[in-house]
């Protein structure tokens, strides 16, 4: 294999705390230890499509460890295989992968470091099959990327959700209300599970466990009958009712991931109030979970992941995904994560522990 001289790095998909820590780790080690050029690709795969890249230097990647977001920008609505193009006033979906390959060759990029979630890894896997060496770094607050025990960004999101639930406790107790807090997570309930347990939520509703509204309402009503004058319900945005349906906020046909979940919290709050007569309010945390300064655990994990990605490249490895297994940072074939999600097992020890201390999961 020819010696790598220039790498490209991108942050793709939704933003999350810790992205800049990965960029910093990859770029500083690449430039300092291995004397490589580092091209920053702007706005994820959109920058690859539009040939928007810039050469990074030490100044560009200094003092960014604690910053939220990403200095390169990102985009979660763009896939090279499904790129919307306006033609005669109408939008057509086209495969522009060849355009990306031309830009990679033009900029003399020997390999890509792709920081992203499951959708981004699916895009990276396409490039691998076309001969482009890609090393993936798992990023998502949802913690749902297959093959790794944890993704960076999750710890910060769970901490933000926990703090919000803690604050809701005081107002719920003061007004004797039921409070429903909707958190992110898409089809995986990791944020709801961890934040719900950490905050002592009375009810935790996950996508993996179908929700019986009769059970939820009776649980809240029973608490009220026994002198518990408020209840806290933590619900994942992807929670499903018994019929398997999710609450969809909107559908974006131009996006490779068109379904936007949201609104289950408001729906459940309305059902609780109408069925029990207990005053109920709903709070949707939304994007606040993805913003701000990463907690220490995410800064450390992101740095470990970034350094490992570069070491894999310089060791001649191809098409690998950096992962955490137990307490060890290792790697698996990138293609293994293509099209898969890591969901919460219904017999997870945290679920069993919560059930045994009286928490309801709506089933």
- Counting Cβ atoms within 10 Å, is residue 250 exposed (0-12), middle (13-18) or buried (19+)? exposed
Strands 280-284 and 178-183: parallel
- Active-site position among 110, 142, 202, 298: 142
**Within a 10 A sphere around the Cβ of 258, how many other Cβ atoms?**
13
Q: What are phi and psi of 256, to 5 degrees?
A: -65, -20
Q: Which helix (H) or strand (E) holds 301?
A: helix 296-314
- Annotated catalytic residue 142: yes
Q: How far apart are CA 329 and CA 242, in angstroms?
A: 38
Strand residues in the chain grouped as ranges (E) = 6-11, 37-41, 53-55, 83-87, 90-94, 111-116, 134-138, 178-183, 203-205, 231-236, 248-251, 259-261, 280-284, 320-325, 328-333
Specify the DSSP element, H or E, that contains 182. strand 178-183
Beta-bridged to residue 113, according to DSSP, are 9, 135
The Cα–Cα gap between 46 and 206 comes to 33
Query: What positions carry a catalytic annotation?
Result: 142
């Amino acid at each position: 294999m020819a010696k790598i001289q220039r790498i490209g790095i991108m942050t793709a998909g939704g933003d999350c705390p810790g992205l800049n820590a990965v960029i910093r780790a990859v770029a500083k080690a690449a430039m300092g230890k291995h004397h490589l050029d580092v091209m920053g690709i702007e706005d994820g795969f959109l920058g690859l499509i539009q040939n928007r890249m810039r050469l990074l230097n030490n100044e560009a990647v200094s003092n960014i460890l604690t910053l939220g977001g990403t200095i390169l920008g990102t985009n979660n609505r763009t896939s090279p295989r499904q790129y919307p193009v306006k033609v005669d006033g109408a939008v057509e979906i086209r495969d522009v992968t060849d355009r990306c390959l031309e830009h990679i060759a033009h900029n003399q990029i020997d390999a890509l470091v792709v920081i992203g979630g499951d959708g981004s890894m699916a895009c990276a896997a396409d490039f691998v099959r076309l001969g482009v060496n890609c090393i993936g770094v798992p990023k998502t607050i949802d913690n749902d990327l297959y093959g790794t025990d944890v993704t960076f960004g999750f710890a910060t999101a769970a901490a933000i959700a926990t703090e919000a639930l803690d604050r809701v406790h005081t107002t719920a107790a003061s007004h004797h209300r039921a409070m429903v807090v909707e958190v992110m997570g898409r089809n995986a309930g990791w944020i709801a599970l961890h934040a719900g347990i950490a905050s002592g939520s009375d009810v935790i509703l996950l996508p993996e466990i179908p929700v019986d509204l009769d059970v939820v309402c009776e649980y809240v009503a029973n608490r009220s009958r026994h002198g518990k004058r408020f209840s806290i319900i933590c619900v994942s945005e992807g929670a499903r009712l018994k019929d398997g349906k999710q609450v969809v906020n909107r559908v974006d046909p131009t996006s490779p991931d068109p379904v936007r979940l949201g609104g289950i919290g408001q729906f459940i709050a309305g059902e609780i109030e109408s069925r029990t007569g207990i005053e109920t309010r709903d709070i949707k945390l939304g994007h606040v979970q993805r913003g701000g300064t990463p907690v220490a655990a995410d800064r450390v994990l992101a740095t470990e992941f970034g350094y490992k990605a570069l070491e894999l490249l310089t060791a001649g490895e191809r098409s690998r995904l950096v992962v955490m297994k137990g307490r060890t940072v290792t790697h698996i074939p990138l293609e293994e994560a293509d099209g898969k999600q890591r969901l919460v097992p219904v017999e997870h020890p945290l679920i069993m522990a919560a059930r045994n201390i009286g928490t309801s999961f709506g089933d």
